[in-house]
Amino acid sequence: MTLFYECSYPMRFSYMLFLMVTILMLVVLLWKLILGRHSKGGIIAGAAVLILTIGLYSVLLDDHIVPQDAVNWQGHKAPLPMAVLWLITAGIFLISVYAILLCREREKRMVTESSIKEAMDEIPMRLCYFRQNGVSMLLNRRMAEISEIICGKVLMTYDELSDMLNGRSDWKEAEDIYRLPDGSFCRYAEEKIATADGERFRAAYFYDVTELVRRKKELETQNEELRRMSAQNRRLRENVGQLAKEEEILFFKTKWHDTMGEGLTAIRRRLLSSLTEKETDDALRSWSNAVSVIQRDNDSSNQRRDAAGDLFRDAGALNITLHISGVLPAKKETEQVFILAIRNCLLNAAMHADATELYADITEAEEGDVLSVTNNGKPPAGEIIPRGGLINVMVYAERMGGRTEIKSIPCFELTVTLPRKEADKR
């Protein structure tokens, strides 16, 4: 086998370069073994191989390079076959590379100062820890960036942080929300931390709340739009109620007008002797009722009678006999809703059912006061769709926490249930 000193210069140079790279790999390995706090056996083995490799390099260097002032330089002429040297050095190199990779994998699983700093830099928030004397001991990359943006330098003490926040009051959107120049929003928070050995620290955080602030503004805009729509709906509902009332008044006035016309016609025909005395009396009685209702409508409010009396007179003007079973509730709001419901049923019974009698049953149940209204007119042709005055009754009942039920089969029936106060229940 060819010995080292017998090889050509390029061959020796290639090997010596490879040997030098192997020595560097051993140095890196030994450095990682020491910093990684590995076993002493591994460190000693690594150091021994490094020393032997350096020794081999020194011996072979004399056989590789001849000094310029040497006359008869013989060198060591170590009997080391080149093939064996290549195999041993390649083995040491591969083992060193493999050991370095193992050390790196172990470092990833170990908690070290560098790993803690790397983990903090990856946290999607800005944080900094201060000692009891106010000096910062640890801050992540995001906190360093925001401190440079706000005050132009990296935070060193807690006082600098306080001055930074107080000096940027124009960036303050809320009590603890700050708006940065790039348009993002951060929420500032503090907390005190104590370790197991009693050492205390102060932690400062900046949370990124840009998305929350954006959604909050969107909700405020939507709420404002909803308030505007609610006010518009309220005005429309009031207009609908007013239109329903005007429709009822128009119907009553039309009915009164027809009744008065019948009475006047009866008088004229009586004078012409074309009606019997009984027919004349019936026409004059309806005419008299209509005149009484109109006169009552023109009277001042303090001259009018009670609400129940108004209902009976309205029913008389519509030629409907009203039967009320029970007593109207003492609670003013409940009484008004019940009267509104009965008056609407009177109107609908005259307009749609051709009824001559209306029955209103008022009872007290466990859930509250209950009004049930029916008539003897024609049953509805189909399902009743609430509108006009019935919608007003339903709206007022819902505002008071009650409910309204409308039945169409086998006959019309309106049921209004309104809760009573605790005082009324007792």
pLDDT tens-digit profile of 28-43?
988 888 877 777 888 8
Classify residue 419 by its DSSP letter.
-
Q: Please tell me which residue, 32 or 165, carries the higher pLDDT value.
A: 32
User: Which segment of 45-54, 113-122, 267-276, 313-322 scores lowest on mean pLDDT?
Assistant: 267-276
Percent of the chain with pLDDT over 90: 13
pLDDT confidence bin for 426, thresholds 50/70/90: very low
pLDDT surpassing 50 at residue 12: yes
307-426 belongs to which homologous superfamily? Histidine kinase-like ATPase, C-terminal domain (3.30.565.10)
Concatenated DSSP letters for 71-137? Answer: SS--------BHHHHHHHHHHHHHHHHHHHHHHHHHHHHS--HHHHHHHHHHSSSEEEEE-TTSBEE
Span 114-208: which CATH code? 3.30.450.20
What integer best gives the mean pLDDT of the chain?
78
pLDDT at 238: 66
At 422, the pLDDT band (50, 70, 90 cuts) reads very low
Q: What is the spatial distance between Cα 357 and Cα 315, in angstroms, rounded to a whole number?
A: 9
| 275: confidence class by pLDDT, cuts 50, 70, 90 | low
When pLDDT is cut at 50, 70 and 90, the band that residue 294 belongs to is: low
Label residues 276-305 b or e (16+ Cβ within 10 Å = b).
eeeebeebbebbebbeebbebeeeeeeeee
Cα–Cα distance for residue pair 425/366, rounded to 1 Å:
9
- Give the DSSP letter string of 8-76: -HHHHHHHHHHHHHHHHHHHHHHHHHHHTT--HHHHHHHHHHHHHHHHHHHHHHHHH---TT-SS----
- Residues 212, 218, 224, 229, CA torsion sign: negative
Confidence of residue 23 (pLDDT cuts 50, 70, 90): very high
pLDDT at 2: 79
Summarised one tens digit per residue, pLDDT across range 359-390 is 999 998 888 899 999 999 888 888 888 777 78
Other Cβ atoms within 10 Å of 160 Cβ, number: 16
C-alpha dihedral sign at 110, 112, 118, 122: positive
Most confident of 22-26, 260-264, 279-283: 22-26
Q: What is the pLDDT of residue 400?
A: 87
Supply the pLDDT for residue 121: 76
Confidence (pLDDT) at 241: 60
pLDDT bin (cut points 50, 70, 90) of residue 217 is confident
What's at 310, amino acid-wise? D
* Predicted pLDDT of residue 357: 92
Instruction: Compute the distance between CA of residue 212 and CA of residue 418 in angstroms, rounded to an integer.
Output: 43
Residue 295 has pLDDT above 90, yes or no: no
Q: Which of 49-63, 157-171, 225-239, 259-273 has the lowest mean pLDDT?
A: 259-273
